[in-house]
Amino acid sequence: MPLATLCQTTNAQQLLEIIATELQQIPTPTGRAQLMACCDVLAGLRFEKDLIHAIFREEVMQESVTYQDILQKGVTQGIQQGVQQGEVTVVLRLLQRRFGEVAPELLGKVRALSVTELEALADALLDFADLAAFPAWLG
């Protein structure tokens, strides 16, 4: 059933509605949710998100283990990005507060650091005598 979303068609809405109707015939809610999530993912390769979500009911897909896994990965990635951005903000604020304006190329290097490196840099900044120590610390 999920591969049906990849069929050639001139009417995407009609194809997806036929698939959704067939999915409704699956007797178990878990099986239906799993297959609906698979169809949703594969349909996303060819069709617009709004059309897909208008036809496949999101509340049913939310019961799917696959959907939950994708959602959890997105949440985890968002949290990691937020932590990294927060660390960058703190380090840049410390640099500018202690040494004034920082060269753009150094700012780019700070933004490229991992969270662990940013935390180490925040600690090291407290011991820098001047801004020249910063590029040396970066290596």
Residues 107, 85 share a domain: yes
Place of tokens 């920082």: 102
Is residue 42 domain-resident? yes
Per the CB < 8 A criterion, the answer to whether 131 and 115 are in contact is no
Residues 131, 91 share a domain: yes
Residues 54, 7 share a domain: yes
Residues 87, 53 share a domain: no
pTM of the model: 0.56
Residues 35, 84 share a domain: no
- Tens of pLDDT, residue by residue over 30-78, are 777 778 878 887 888 888 888 777 777 665 556 667 777 878 899 999 9
Residues 131, 81 share a domain: yes
- Overall number of domains in the chain: 2
CA-to-CA separations, 36 to 1, 7, 15, 123, in angstroms, rounded:
9, 16, 14, 49
* Domain range enclosing 11: 2-63
Place of tokens 């925040």: 122
Closest to 44 (Cα-Cα) out of 97, 5, 99, 83 = 5
Is residue 121 domain-resident? yes
Residues 133, 81 share a domain: yes
- Tens of pLDDT, residue by residue over 67-99, are 778 788 999 999 999 999 999 999 999 999 998
Is residue 69 domain-resident? no
